[in-house]
Structure 1
Amino acid sequence: MRRLRIAAALLAALSLLGAVDPVPAADPPAAQKPAPRKFYIETADDKALLDAALADAKTTGKLAVIVFGGDWCHDSQGLAKVLTSDAFTNEFGARFSVTFIDVGIPQAGQGRNLDLVRRFGLKKMKGTPALFVISPKGKRINSKKDAESWRNADSRSVDEVLGWFRKLAEKQR
């Protein structure tokens, strides 16, 4: 009990001297926290985005990385963060061009732009995201099964994702 009184007296004395803040700072209000970044824009003209990405691949010779997902999905968000990171851009920016297409929530019957997904041979999206790599000639490079395998993207490490792209880049040389 005596130790508690001594500790309380010491804390009070230090707070008077300004050395200790007696009340811990609260988390900043929600209005001060930055909003999560949007990658998959619901109002975008996604057909035009896709067509532009494929035309750009043809013109520049880059491989087009087309990611079908949604900002509501943690796996879509996690993958998008890696694909827009400095690490990805520095290593792969000269070889790959990345485009994000919003597909809503297809597994709940609230999908959109699913006709764009079907262009790459995937008849039904079971989950998000799906990632397709398209050659400058417009040919899909990765399999449909591989495209769908990114539904666990957020559980993959940055090194795993970058490693996948390294292997793909090696195959395309």
Structure 2
Amino acid sequence: MSVFFTVFGVLFSMLTASTWASDNSSSEVSAYVASEDPMADVQQGLERARAQDKLLLVVMGAQWCHDSRGLVEKFSDSRVAELLAANYETVFVDVGYFKDLREISRRFNQAHYFATPTVMIINAETERLINRDDMSIWGAADSVPLERYLEYFEIYAANPSPQYVPLPDAQASVVLSFEQTQSDRLQNAYEHLVPGMQAEDRTGTARKEFLQEWREVWRYRSTLQKDILSLHQQAQEAPDTELVLPEYPSFSWEGDS
């Protein structure tokens, strides 16, 4: 997980306004299409998956996102497409400019979408998210080798009901409260970025300040996703030990508050 995030962080820090604009100007047909009711789309996908004894694959991404487009390209490979068609019911969700679609992620006990794309594999029968521990690799989907796509989705297709260990009651409320608080903060940060994204689309140029703020949010959401996994692991391994909740610095636009 950390390797993919590190690679992506280095690549992102090297972005220029021109490469950002080039990504946004893509005229290819998008798998990420705005919907009047994306939650209904996911629910219908869940029902189809259950009826066909398949896994539900929910991809939350956007056409402006290089990695979201890269994932779609890899999905179009004949071997990957065949594997997915046989074992998964796939639903693409367009998050647009970071729309608040937490109702979808929370439907499957995931606090938020921490990256574009976010790839969730759900057992349609139990309605449990089964790839929480390693889903973070898809935040750098374009850099993931094709063979890893095949390996990853074959593993989950072969084991659609991995062992499930719920959080201990004493710890569950603490973790849930932390997740909800940080989810609110992440959504606020996403919304702070939207005007800069829209301005870049209009002008073809990304301000230095906007790129800096984007990096701040990227670092936060990447760290947060790992911290949430760590809290789950700590709670399960030491249910009688008080959890120490992570704290995060203010964003530059928040000042010292």
TM-score normalised by structure 1 residue count = 0.69
2:101 is matched with 113
CA distance in 2, matches of 1:158, 1:105: 28
The one-letter amino acid of 2:43's match is D
Query: Is structure 2 residue 121 aligned with structure 1 residue 129?
Result: no
1:15 is matched with none
Secondary structure of the corresponding residue to residue 64 of structure 1: strand
CA distance in 2, matches of 1:132, 1:62: 14
1:92 is matched with 84
Larger-Rg structure: 1
1:60 to 47, 52, 65: 52
Cα gap change, 1:44/1:147 in structure 2, threshold over 3 Å: closer, same or farther?
Answer: farther
Compute the displacement of 1:172 (Å): 3.3
Query: Is structure 2 residue 37 aligned with structure 1 residue 48?
Result: no
- CA displacement 1:48-104 (0-9 Å, x = unmatched): 210110000111101111111111111111112222432222233211121100122
Q: Give unmatched runs, 5+ long, in structure 1.
A: 1-33
Partners of 2:109 and 2:129 within 8 A in 1: no
Partners of 1:42 and 1:102 within 8 A in 2: yes
Using the aligned pairs only, state the percent identity.
27
1:82 to 74, 89, 102: 74
Partners of 1:130 and 1:149 within 8 A in 2: no
1:148 is matched with 136
1:9 is matched with none
Partners of 1:129 and 1:148 within 8 A in 2: no
CA distance in 2, matches of 1:164, 1:71: 23
Partners of 2:39 and 2:103 within 8 A in 1: no
Corresponding residue pairs, total: 135
The one-letter amino acid of 1:38's match is S
Q: Which moved more, 1:54-63 or 1:158-167?
A: 158-167
- CA displacement 1:91-148 (0-9 Å, x = unmatched): 3321112110012243xxxx232321221222233321111111121222111x4233
For the aligned residue pairs, the C-alpha RMSD in angstroms reads: 2.1
Compute the displacement of 1:44 (Å): 4.6
1:29 is matched with none
The one-letter amino acid of 2:103's match is D
1:162 is matched with 150
Cα gap change, 1:42/1:141 in structure 2, threshold over 3 Å: closer, same or farther?
Answer: same
CA distance in 2, matches of 1:41, 1:105: 12
Secondary structure of the corresponding residue to residue 134 of structure 2: helix
CA distance in 2, matches of 1:126, 1:132: 11
The one-letter amino acid of 2:146's match is V
Compute the displacement of 1:152 (Å): 0.6
Secondary structure of the corresponding residue to residue 93 of structure 1: helix
2:212 is matched with none
